[in-house]
Amino acid sequence: MKFGKWLKRQIEQSLPEWRKQFLRYKELKQCVVNAVSAGCPPSAVEEAVFLAALHAEIDKINGFFLELEEEFIIRHRQLQDDIKLALDRKASGAVPPAQHEAEVAAIRREIVNFHGVMVLLLNYSSINYIGLAKILKKYDKHTGAVLRLPVIETVLEQPFFNTETVSQLVRECEAMMEAVFPEAPDGQDAARRDLEALAVAGEEQSIFHNTVAALLTMQDVRAGSSTRGRHSLPPLNLPYYDWLRSFQPAFPIPIQ
């Protein structure tokens, strides 16, 4: 599959309201075509046009990423407060058991969705980085320029590439799940069944499907390589990879 088609598929598997926030690879590719259409090396003006378009895309991606990162920090704190309140109300006997379970069930759904959306943002970062590297490689190949390495060096310093804060929130969100999912003798397997039940119910279904697709994509693009270097995305360790893979045929991702 050509990269443009792969990217289109990844965008379609994201949340609808995010789709315009991805790298506009097709438009940047047209800049490359325009730069070489005259059959001679691109002029300084043509190169400047390409770089201006590229940096505008990077600014857009950074803005979107930082906005969501800030929202996630606030949402994470609110979830922590909600869990503490629910557990305190149970301990004090302020609510009957049935009401407490309803409150906790609502928190569970919120955590599953929150975790899924954060994973989608991590995948958003990966996909856009790959797109930038691909279009720069294409530009250098067709024009004889040497833009890729110096530009990628600046990309490595961009906010959207630094995903440590979101990754930490994902890990803390997983810890939250241990506090609100019911205990069971078979531990992890029971937790998975509870997640499955939530994931296929109602409005949570779409986010779960997209999250599975995002996790599998990140596993594939971050797989180990003997040629890994500074400009490579780091490996992604997914202990539930086989379990997640099993959802692909059962829950196909619709391409709209």
8 A C-beta contact, residue 176 and residue 111: yes
8 A C-beta contact, residue 114 and residue 173: yes
pLDDT (0 to 100) of residue 96: 86
Q: Which two tokens stand for residue 199?
A: 């994931």
Find tokens 């379970």 and name the residue: 101
8 A C-beta contact, residue 168 and residue 87: no
- CA–CA separation, 157 and 140 (whole Å): 21
Q: What is the DSSP-derived secondary structure letter of residue 19?
A: G
Q: Name the residue among 42, 241, 70, 249 with its Cα closest to residue 165.
A: 70
Mean pLDDT, consecutive 10-residue stretches, the chain (256 aa), reads 85 90 95 79 85 96 98 95 87 84 84 85 91 94 92 94 90 79 53 51 54 64 50 50 45 34
Residues 223, 11, 111: CA angle, nearest 5 degrees: 75
pLDDT (0 to 100) of residue 100: 81
pLDDT (0 to 100) of residue 36: 82
| Cβ atoms within 10 Å, residue 127 | 24
Residues 174, 189, 104: CA angle, nearest 5 degrees: 50
